[in-house]
Amino acid sequence: MSVVLRNVQWYDWRQGTLAAGDLLVGDDPGADPQLLKGEAPADAAVADGGGGLAMAGLVCGHHHLYSALARGMPAPPRAPRNFVEILELIWWRLDRCLDLEMVRASALAGAMDMLRSGVTAVVDHHSSPNAVTGSLDALAQGLDAAGLAHVLCVELSDRDGPAAAEAGLAETDRWLASGHPGLVGLHASFTVGDPLLQRAVDLARKHDVGVHVHVAEDRADQEHCRATYGCGLAERFARAGALALPGTILGHGLWLDDADRDLVRRAGAWLAVNVESNQNNAVGAFRAAGFDPARILLGTDGMHGDLLRSLQAAFLSGSADGGLEGAQAWQALWNNRRWLEAHAPAAARRNDVVLLRNDAPTPLAADNILGHALYGLDARQVRTVIAGGRLVLVDGRLTLLDEDDTLRFCREQARRLWERLGARGQDGAQP
């Protein structure tokens, strides 16, 4: 069934135009919404837009849904002293404790967060090394239940031993062979040996997809690569053929040197910026120099699901540290959708729309929307979300999920996860 949003200002991100009218959102996921020129279809659902701003559903270019149950979790055995210890003492302990029900709960929790922020599609980078088989199905079940489109992968790594790596390769192959939108996931270079890297690239070639990998998030990753392989990170991945794969996403890229940046740019790989996560982990500041602005994506790295917040953080950080300028950050927001349409068309529903309440005290126009986006647009203004042609959020309430029941389930799984964390040793293994 199509949906008509009465009285909206429709922002066309492709053209950069803003026009007022009644917006028809059809049930064909491959068709763009259109301003009505006549009467609405007789069977259309009609919602009052209240003069609000309507635009295409937002896309998260890099997420870690597996971390969604971490908020308020028990403290690590001791305070981490650097980024590698943050991984060892917090995230690697957590991901080893996940089971499939916890993974599904994480997807549901993340989906609710994203929908309330106007996000209708996510590119996720998953890790549950002791519950790999079926983990992508569990993620998809949670996201599908809420109405989100998704591009999924399993993080391949040597850090949990050969059995976990083999299970991850098998899960990835099974998922991609079934026709699901996805990528071949890799953890950072310093946990991925050459044999696994080459198998991952070969698997990506088999399915004609890219890899999704953390690169130079911390200085230690670049230093390990130079000491172990005698080259920079981008060169290592280029030698293996990863940069030339279609739709490859490199997460972070803070410590790539000029030569590496040149390799990334010439290869046409995409870079996902995650400013708030970098600040949280104190790993450094993103610099835009040397990268192609048309291939920079915005992600959240598991911090949250709010892309408008990520947009503003990227701009504010860029103003101080040589990162993204305002127009570049706005471009990056829509690059996420460009990537989706180019490299995961099955997930790129063009009839996804978010409607935000227009409560700005100043006029909104096409030539000043950037100023509104950087200083005013907020997830709290999200009123209505249409995903796949369906109303999935109406006046702030989810329509496909029972929110109370879903939250109870998520909290139950969080308690189970925290209890398991408390019963395990420093490395997440059974004592």
Q: DSSP states of 199-262 as a string?
A: HHHHHHHHHT--EEEEESSSHHHHHHHHHHHSS-HHHHHHHHT-TTSTT-EEEE-TT--HHHHH
| 382-402 pLDDT, tens digit each | 999 999 999 999 999 999 999
Same domain for 190 and 319? yes
The average pLDDT across 164-187 equals 98
- Alpha-carbon distance 156 to 166, whole Å? 9
Q: Residue 365 sits in a domain of what CATH number?
A: 2.30.40.10
Same domain, 355 and 281: no
**Residues 39, 43: Cα–Cα separation, whole Å:** 11
Q: Is residue 420 part of a domain?
A: no
Q: Helix (H, G, I), strand (E, B), or coil: what is residue 48?
A: strand
Q: Do 48 and 72 lie in a common domain?
A: no
Full DSSP string of 402-425: -HHHHHHHHHHHHHHHHHHHHHS-
Same-domain status, 270 and 384: no
Q: How far apart are CA 335 and CA 67, in angstroms?
A: 25
pLDDT of residue 200: 98
- Within this chain, do residues 132 and 277 fall inside the same structural domain, yes or no? yes
Q: For the domain that residue 165 is a member of, what is the CATH number?
A: 3.20.20.140
Give pLDDT tens digits for 212-235. 999 999 999 999 999 999 999 999
pLDDT tens-digit series, residues 317-346: 998 889 999 999 999 999 999 999 999 999
Q: Does residue 165 form part of some domain?
A: yes
- pLDDT at residue 424 in the model: 56
User: Is there a single domain that holds both residue 148 and residue 281?
Assistant: yes
272 lies in the same domain as 225: yes
Write the DSSP symbol of residue 154: B
**Under a CB-based contact definition with an 8 Å cutoff, are residues 66 and 107 in contact?**
no
- The tokens for 217 are 């998030």
Which pair of structure tokens corresponds to residue 347? 């997930």
Rounded to 5 degrees, what are φ and ψ at 297?
-110, 160
Asked, for residue 187, whether it belongs to a domain, the answer is yes
Q: What whole-number distance in Å separates Cα of residue 354 and Cα of residue 56?
A: 6
Same domain, yes or no: 179 and 291 = yes
Whether residue 245 lies inside any domain: the answer is: yes
Domain count, the chain: 2
Strand partners, 397: 394
Q: Structure tokens of 209?
A: 């997809």
The residue length of the chain stands at 431
Assess whether 139 and 281 both reside in one domain: yes
* Average pLDDT, rounded, for the chain: 96
In a domain, 76, yes or no: yes
68: left (phi over 0), alpha (psi -120 to 50) or beta: alpha
Cβ proximity of 52 and 355 under 8 Å: yes
pLDDT at residue 274 is higher than 60 = yes
Q: Is the residue at 382 inside a domain?
A: yes
Residue % of the chain over a pLDDT of 70: 98
- Asked if residues 35 and 12 have their Cβ atoms less than 8 Å apart, the reply is no
Orientation of helix 307-321 relative to helix 326-343, angle to 10°: 130
Map tokens 């995903």 to a residue.
387
Task: Please report whether residue 404 resides in a domain.
Answer: no
For residues 85-111, average pLDDT: 97
Per residue in 393-429, pLDDT (tens digit) is 999 999 999 999 999 999 999 999 999 998 754 444 4
Please indicate, yes or no, whether residues 127 and 183 belong to a single structural domain of this protein: yes
* 316 part of a folded domain: yes
- In degrees and rounded to multiples of 5, residue 189 shows phi and psi of -50, -40
What's the pLDDT at 317?
93
Identify the band that residue 431 occupies on the pLDDT scale cut at 50, 70 and 90.
very low
Q: What is the mean pLDDT of residues 143-167?
A: 98
Instruction: Return d(Cα 251, Cα 273) in angstroms, integer.
Output: 7
29 and 45 belong to one structural domain: yes
Shared domain for 35 and 78, answered yes or no, is: no
| Residue 37: domain span | 3-57+349-398
